[in-house]
Amino acid sequence: MSGTATFDEAGYRAEMRADWDAAGAEIVEYVDDLESGLGLVSRRLIELAGLRPGQTVLDLGTGYGEPALGAARAVGPSGRVIGVDLSPVMIEVARRRAAGLGNVEFEAADFGAVARADGSVDAVLSRFALMLATDRTRLFEGCARMLVPGGVLAAAVWGPPTANLFVTGLVALTRELGLPSPPPDRPGAFALSSSELIVEELRAAGFAEVDVEELVVPFRFADAARYAGLTQVVMPRGLHRLAVQRLGSEDALRELFERAAAAHLDPDGSLPLPSLAYCVRAHT
Ligand SMILES: C[S@@+](CC[C@H](N)C(=O)[O-])C[C@H]1O[C@@H](n2cnc3c(N)ncnc32)[C@H](O)[C@@H]1O
């Protein structure tokens, strides 16, 4: 996938980096909320990769260090984990969370440009990042090349938005502002929301066998306000600016997210937002 001729890859990457730098500055406050759902995905990816002590692992788009930190525990002191993320702010958060672990390091870089020696990595992990790549062909071919023969790519991507209640607030905002859906060939949260496409792209990149399974991420927030606060932190900055301008204030945006979430509240006021993920296991 390389997008259409008019797609500005460099501009997209700069925006992506700025978005996640902005999120990284505030996300620490929400890591526990997120991991109460996403922890399940990390555990499954580590299982699918079959990590063993002594192995070398790459985590692409590691964000605040997931699933790199779990992988570091799985490969033990004789193993090595390298987490890569475009956002230097996220990488700083990941480094702080890794304090005390001697076998994990983090690099601020574009995962499309990561170059390790051919056949030098036992497993590539990635949790909710591969669909953001500007050139998945290049990325997947690079992963296949860096892996040892029989090495494993274990990655999670989002299923379709209709099966993803985590984006309830953003769906409501898009409707409220009358914004069009993004073109289907552009990178984004739902660019790999088809198991057929995942299999096709990874097979074409040289992976011998590709399996995709569904996993429901059991997000649950203490209340709608907590969810609205997190959505304000992780939403793209351009959309945030537009929303505040059109709705009139940050408070109005928060209220819109809370109203959208209200339909899903449990009687105790907590907010379950189950969201479908695809977990992929591909080996060379
Ligand atoms: C949805 S977050 C997931 C972070 C983490 N893996 C997790 O599950 O919590 C996506 C991450 O991918 C990173 N990312 C996006 N495009 C990237 C690229 N081209 N190279 C490296 N990282 C990238 C972003 O900076 C962001 O931290």
Going by alpha carbons, the residue nearest to atom 1 of ligand 1 is 128
Tokens 């071919």 appear where?
Answer: 141
Ligand 1 atom with the smallest distance to the CA of 111 is: 20
What are the b/e assignments for 244-275, b being 16+ CB within 10 Å?
A: eeebeeeeebbebbbebbeebbeeeeebebeb
Task: Work out the percent of the chain whose per-residue pLDDT is above 70.
Answer: 98
Contact yes or no for 66/81 (Cβ under 8 A): no
**pLDDT at position 240, please?**
97
Task: Work out the percent of the chain whose per-residue pLDDT is above 90.
Answer: 94
**pLDDT at position 4, please?**
46
Residue 139 CA from chain centroid, whole number: 15
pLDDT, tens only, 149-206 = 999 999 999 999 999 999 999 999 999 999 998 887 899 999 999 999 999 999 999 9
Domains, the chain, with CATH or none: 9-160+184-220+275-283 (3.40.50.150)
The answer to whether the CB of 20 is under 6 A from ligand 1 is yes
User: How many angstroms is it from 85 CA to the middle of ligand 1?
Assistant: 6
Q: How confident is the model at residue 7 (pLDDT cuts 50, 70, 90)?
A: confident
Ligand 1 atom with the smallest distance to the CA of 234 is: 1
Residue among 43, 82, 86 whose CB has most ligand 1 atoms within 8 A, to mutate? 86
pLDDT, tens only, 18-36 = 999 999 999 999 999 999 9
- The tokens describing 64, both together, are 């605040």
User: How many angstroms is it from 79 CA to the middle of ligand 1?
Assistant: 23
Q: How confident is the model at residue 1 (pLDDT cuts 50, 70, 90)?
A: very low
The answer to whether the CB of 166 is under 6 A from ligand 1 is no
Under the phi-then-psi rule, with left for phi > 0, alpha for psi from -120 to 50, and beta for the rest, what region is 178? left
Q: What is the DSSP string of 117-184?
A: -TT-EEEEEEES-GGG-S-HHHHHHHHHHHEEEEEEEEEEEE--GGGBGGGHHHHHHHHHHTPPPPPT
Ligand 1 atom with the smallest distance to the CA of 19 is: 25
Ligand 1 atom with the smallest distance to the CA of 112 is: 19
Cα–Cα distances in Å, from 66 out to 18, 188, 201, 236?
Answer: 20, 19, 24, 20
Q: Please state, in angstroms and rounded to a whole number, the distance separating the CA atoms of residues 61 and 118.
A: 20
pLDDT, tens only, 101-133 = 999 999 999 999 998 999 999 999 999 999 999
**pLDDT at position 124, please?**
98
Going by alpha carbons, the residue nearest to atom 14 of ligand 1 is 61
Q: Which of 126, 123, 125 is nearest to 151 (CA)?
A: 123
User: How many angstroms is it from 275 CA to the middle of ligand 1?
Assistant: 18
**pLDDT at position 5, please?**
53
The answer to whether the CB of 66 is under 6 A from ligand 1 is yes
Q: Please state, in angstroms and rounded to a whole number, the distance separating the CA atoms of residues 9 and 12.
A: 5
Residue among 15, 32, 132 whose CB has most ligand 1 atoms within 8 A, to mutate? 132
- Mean pLDDT, all residues of the chain: 96
Helix intervals (H) in the chain = 9-27, 31-49, 68-75, 88-97, 136-146, 168-177, 195-204, 224-234, 237-247, 250-262
- Whether the pLDDT of residue 91 is over 80: the answer is yes
Cα–Cα distances in Å, from 24 out to 36, 54, 136, 229?
Answer: 18, 30, 24, 14
**pLDDT at position 115, please?**
85
Going by alpha carbons, the residue nearest to atom 27 of ligand 1 is 63
Going by alpha carbons, the residue nearest to atom 26 of ligand 1 is 63
Query: Mean of the pLDDT values across residues 254-272?
Result: 97
The answer to whether the CB of 190 is under 6 A from ligand 1 is no
Q: Please state, in angstroms and rounded to a whole number, the distance separating the CA atoms of residues 54 and 76.
A: 6
Contact yes or no for 206/22 (Cβ under 8 A): no
Does residue 189 or residue 7 have the better pLDDT? 189
pLDDT, tens only, 75-84 = 999 999 999 9
Three-state SS for 32? helix
The answer to whether the CB of 86 is under 6 A from ligand 1 is yes
